[in-house]
Structure 1
Amino acid sequence: MTTATVSLEHAWTDSELSDLAHLKAVNEQLPEDSPRALLSVRLSVLTDDTTSPVRQELDLWRKANDDRVRVVGVARDLNVSATKVPPWKRKELGRWLNDRSPEFDVLMFWKLDRFVRRILDLQVIINWCQEYGKNLKSLHDPIDLSSTMGKTIVSLIAGMAEIEAANTGVRVASLWQHAKTQDAWIIGRPSYGYVTAKGKDGKVRLAIDPLGHKVLRWAYGAALRGVSASKMAKVLNRAGIPGANGGKWTSTTILIQLRNPAIKGVRVEVDGRSGRNRSKEVLDSKGNQIKVAKPILDQEEFNKLQHALDRASRTNENPWTPGATKFLGVIVCRNCKGNYTVRTSTSRGVRYKYLRCRVCGGKGTKPEELYAALVEAVLEELGNHPVEYREYARGAENRDQLRQVEASIKYYMEGLAPGGRFDRGGFVKETAEETLQSLLNQLDEIDPESTKDRWVLTHGGRTYQEQWETGGMEAMSHDLARAGIKFEVGYSESNELEADLLIPEDVRERLVIREDAFKTGF
């Protein structure tokens, strides 16, 4: 029985669903010991010139039935670039490759450029297939990893796909350069406070978003009154106003929007820097601003805003330093679930550090005290747990042994049956019966699970407390984050610090160390 389900990301017609049901019914009639196939469907953008994911999937089901392989799943990754995202990092296919690889033997795809477009990515996949005993099959390419010639053909096809991808990249870069000089909006995501809309001339232009306009004008007035960015974020979050990217507001996201010259209605570009001043104006050939929309703030208001922000920043020039916070993502606020981060402040010439919620602010606490409380709680709960590693065990050798033993048992049972070759009595029959019993004992000793490809857990010979004593807080922070462990911090009615360690029920499974099978070394 297959486990494949129908994708809801792209509409299927009644006729296509009927075809799929028929193909699945045929596939389910294949023997249980048939090779198992995973179908991979990928598409960057659906246009009239591309092959729809529905057609790709139906074609792959037909190919699977022709090759007599059982389909155990379909990995559908739509709106994903094969150039930018390698197979093992895609949402659905990545889950199969990293965690469910024992469940399939063959990875099937419609065409090589639908699967991978970079030669390095292809080479990583080929090495992975050889190590894990998998094969690749393409509907439209002569791919066969069992032969040297087949691997060579795969590399040549991928090389051509990479050249085409590079040419596409050049065309896109050229389009961006052209778009920067136009007052119409050709490509890209508008800055916060603006949306795209068609003008009277039919061209797409920027228009002011009412909610974004209201937020930015309010933040402008608040900044001139000396309100801090963290206070603004707290007010906006309490009001339920979504942030620029749909999440919660933080002091950083507030400052990014207020520092962005785009709120003057001019063309900007990101200059590659991170931080709050990462956007700069684009000038035309004469050195003038390129107007693309009505301004939310005019030039005079923008200058006043920057002066107010500069004045506020001088009182605390570097309040937050990337990398300074230990257990980032683990220590969170009980109220808003925001991250606790290390802040710095100066009072009477003395500079000191404290931990507090980066979203809603609130009272701070000494980092050392909170870190010590977290470490103590974690060691008490998890310190004695053994460090476990996940390894891939192939069942091919035991499968061959099982087939050989079963064939030998069948041979002797037929020989001992009435009229069989060993049904002679005396020494011949006794010897055959002893051999048959020995084979039956061997059969009992073969664990059925050992004949399957599977994940097995091995112990590293030490506990997590021993590992963390060696690796320090950095190692503990990494393990807690990947296990989804949280240390929620809040304050009681009497303003006393309280904290709760929240551990998922499947923490031992999450803590298992999984080797990266797709590391490239580059």
Structure 2
Amino acid sequence: MGKRSRTASAAAQKAYTVEAEWTAADLAQLEELKKANASLPDDAPRALLSVRLSVLTEDTTSPVRQELDLRREALNRGCRVVGVASDLNVSATKVPPWKRKQLGEWLNNRAPEFDVLLFWKLDRFIRRLSDLNTMIDWALKYGKNLISKNDQIDLTTVVGKIMVTLIGGIAEIEATNTSTRVASLWDYAKTQGDWLVGKPTYGYVTGEDENGKVVLYVEDNAHKALHWCRRMARRGVSATRMVKVLKRSKLMGDKLTTSTLLSRLRNPGLKGYRVEVEMKGRARRSKLVLDQHGKPIRVAPGIFTEDEFDELQADLDKRSRKQPARQPGGATKFLGVLTCVDCATNMTVKRYENAYGPYSYMRCQKCKSGGHGIPNPEVVYTKVVMDVLSVLGDEPVQVREYARGAEARAQVAQLEESIAYYMKELEPGGRYTKTRFTREQAEQTLDKLIAELGEIDPETTEDRWVNVANGKTFRQRWEEGGTEAMSADLLRVGVRCEVTRTKVKGQRAPDVKLRLMIPKDYRERLIVKEDHFAGEL
């Protein structure tokens, strides 16, 4: 039976890149628009262009056209373009604006640099009504306007706010309908013996038979690797050892981990049956999909027979250790802060249970056998807390807040207008030159206005971030939030703690020394940044 593999053609497909789409004519238009943009006055409203595309088809608008259209729209509105946030291969349904790589950076950290967020069409910008409401709240709080080239959207009017909500609701309905159709297709596909959609179980690839029908075939290297693992498990070889050999032999990828290999070996789909992923806590497990008669659905020839698969599971069970339930906050405190001085990898805590009860120890990732295990991680945590408090505990907590310059700008404009008026009327023939009294009074008023104008800091007329002390120290902050709050702050600041372990003769526990590594600009990094989108999905 002949087969034509689809794998090569799928792998050959590349993600859409905007750089490949610019023609000479497009680039010429871009230069003309940039020149026109540069001629706009400095006080023109500043526009950020948002360009997004998930998949390029004949029915979608390319990022090149979106950007050129938006630059023309900005020019027509008298807005000066200060940046382009281009997020390609990104779904507006799955990824909200504030989590996109480029647009998210502007929204979270560069808000003072623009006044208007301009996008091609609302569904190019956002797809979920809840996300739209969040963006409207953000825009109103930070004094920004949302403008769509192809929709009647303007947050400066009540009608505009109603319109944007209505259009957003329609976009969400369309996205929901699409999601429903996709879910329906998956539900149907799971009950079929034919392969319609989806990613095959490891060990299989999609292809076409002589009739052009999509079927699953066993991939040769995967078949060889999986059966080798079955034989090694029969001999009692550990999964960790298998991973090293498989990576060295190139039968599996360099990023293979022990947990990934065990997940593959325990997948019942290796018997040729259809499976689906089931979440058990934080663990992902593959389980059989049964038909209406309660029997598994065969979709491919089995890599393992029933007996081979059952034998493999029994052999894997012999080497598995009983693991205690996962802790809600994770087994390791200060994960990412504590690092091994020898291999520079994270120190992690392993928890097990044996005949004597539960036990735990701290180890690294790359040293042989994890280096010298530390049997009492809590001692390390206590030392870290004491060291951090002694160095950073008395630092004041400062919060970054958004300060708008609109009020100061209005005050400056009013003062400048008043000063210009008095200066004009103090000129020969002006209304204040008729008597000495009126001249003296006008000059005193003018001096007062000039003094008031000079007292206004020019920086306060700009939208900006300001750091405001909240009256607490980090010691107080961490006493309230516990080790989780301290760990999060240390990761944010970039503080690391190197762990040195030295073997002590005749003693199981090694001698442990800690060295706190604090960046030179730690005070700047300690500033807590206000996050308008915290808690949003």
Q: Which amino acid in structure 2 is aligned with residue 397 of structure 1?
A: E
Q: 1:261 is matched with which residue? A: 268
Q: Percent identity?
A: 53
Q: 1:516 is matched with which residue? A: 531
Is the CA contact 1:233–1:359 (under 8 Å) kept in the aligned structure 2? Answer: no
- Which of 443, 447, 469 lines up with 2:453 in the alignment? 443
**TM-score scaled by structure 1?**
0.88
Q: CA deviation at 1:195?
A: 4.2
- Looking at structure 1, the residues matched to 296 and 313 of structure 2 have their Cα atoms a distance apart, in angstroms, of 18
State the secondary structure of the residue aligned to 1:156.
Answer: helix
Is the CA contact 1:125–1:518 (under 8 Å) kept in the aligned structure 2? Answer: no
Q: Which amino acid in structure 1 is aligned with residue 528 of structure 2?
A: I
Q: Taking structure 1 as reference, are residues 121 and 395 closer, same or farther at Cα in structure 2, changes over 3 Å only?
A: same
- Which of 18, 34, 53 lines up with 1:43 in the alignment? 53
- Looking at structure 1, the residues matched to 193 and 19 of structure 2 have their Cα atoms a distance apart, in angstroms, of 35
Q: CA deviation at 1:14?
A: 1.5
* Residue 180 (structure 1) aligned with residue 190 (structure 2): yes
- Looking at structure 2, the residues matched to 310 and 128 of structure 1 have their Cα atoms a distance apart, in angstroms, of 53
Query: Deviations 1:415-465 (Å, cap 9, x if unpaired)?
Result: 334554444572233222222221221121111110011111111222212
- Looking at structure 1, the residues matched to 428 and 171 of structure 2 have their Cα atoms a distance apart, in angstroms, of 65
Query: Deviations 1:327-351 (Å, cap 9, x if unpaired)?
Result: 2233344566554332233456243
Is the CA contact 1:387–1:462 (under 8 Å) kept in the aligned structure 2? Answer: yes
Is the CA contact 1:242–1:248 (under 8 Å) kept in the aligned structure 2? Answer: no
* Residue 120 (structure 1) aligned with residue 130 (structure 2): yes
Q: Taking structure 1 as reference, are residues 416 and 218 closer, same or farther at Cα in structure 2, changes over 3 Å only?
A: farther
Q: CA deviation at 1:37?
A: 0.9
Q: CA deviation at 1:400?
A: 0.2
- Looking at structure 2, the residues matched to 319 and 359 of structure 1 have their Cα atoms a distance apart, in angstroms, of 25
Is the CA contact 1:39–1:75 (under 8 Å) kept in the aligned structure 2? Answer: yes
Q: 1:316 is matched with which residue? A: 322
* Residue 428 (structure 1) aligned with residue 434 (structure 2): no
Q: CA deviation at 1:55?
A: 1.1
Is the CA contact 1:416–1:422 (under 8 Å) kept in the aligned structure 2? Answer: yes
Is the CA contact 1:10–1:53 (under 8 Å) kept in the aligned structure 2? Answer: no
Q: Which amino acid in structure 2 is aligned with residue 84 of structure 1?
A: K
- Looking at structure 2, the residues matched to 504 and 264 of structure 1 have their Cα atoms a distance apart, in angstroms, of 53
- Which of 388, 402, 405 lines up with 2:415 in the alignment? 405
- Which of 361, 373, 397 lines up with 1:364 in the alignment? 373
Q: 2:80 is matched with which residue? A: 70
Query: Deviations 1:271-299 (Å, cap 9, x if unpaired)?
Result: 23345561112244555544444544333
Q: Which amino acid in structure 2 is aligned with residue 316 of structure 1?
A: K
Is the CA contact 2:397–2:527 (under 8 Å) kept in the aligned structure 1? Answer: yes
**TM-score scaled by structure 2?**
0.86
RMSD: 3.0
Q: 2:13 is matched with which residue? A: none
State the secondary structure of the residue aligned to 1:398.
Answer: helix
- Looking at structure 2, the residues matched to 488 and 117 of structure 1 have their Cα atoms a distance apart, in angstroms, of 45
Q: CA deviation at 1:324?
A: 2.9
State the secondary structure of the residue aligned to 2:279.
Answer: coil
Q: Which amino acid in structure 2 is aligned with residue 20 of structure 1?
A: L
- Looking at structure 2, the residues matched to 338 and 261 of structure 1 have their Cα atoms a distance apart, in angstroms, of 34
Deviates more, 1:110-119 or 1:378-387: 378-387
- Looking at structure 1, the residues matched to 343 and 207 of structure 2 have their Cα atoms a distance apart, in angstroms, of 35
Is the CA contact 2:395–2:473 (under 8 Å) kept in the aligned structure 1? Answer: yes
Deviates more, 1:122-131 or 1:65-74: 122-131
Q: CA deviation at 1:507?
A: 3.4
- Looking at structure 2, the residues matched to 96 and 518 of structure 1 have their Cα atoms a distance apart, in angstroms, of 13
- Looking at structure 1, the residues matched to 523 and 215 of structure 2 have their Cα atoms a distance apart, in angstroms, of 53
- Looking at structure 2, the residues matched to 98 and 231 of structure 1 have their Cα atoms a distance apart, in angstroms, of 45
Q: 1:303 is matched with which residue? A: 310
Deviates more, 1:159-168 or 1:8-17: 8-17
Deviates more, 1:142-151 or 1:360-369: 360-369
* Residue 469 (structure 1) aligned with residue 479 (structure 2): yes
Q: CA deviation at 1:231?
A: 4.8
Q: CA deviation at 1:518?
A: 2.7
Q: Where does structure 2 lack aligned partners over 5 or more consecutive residues?
A: 1-16, 505-509
- Looking at structure 2, the residues matched to 72 and 163 of structure 1 have their Cα atoms a distance apart, in angstroms, of 33
Q: Taking structure 1 as reference, are residues 198 and 421 closer, same or farther at Cα in structure 2, changes over 3 Å only?
A: farther
Q: CA deviation at 1:497?
A: 4.0
Deviates more, 1:75-84 or 1:178-187: 178-187
* Residue 380 (structure 1) aligned with residue 387 (structure 2): no
Q: CA deviation at 1:125?
A: 1.4
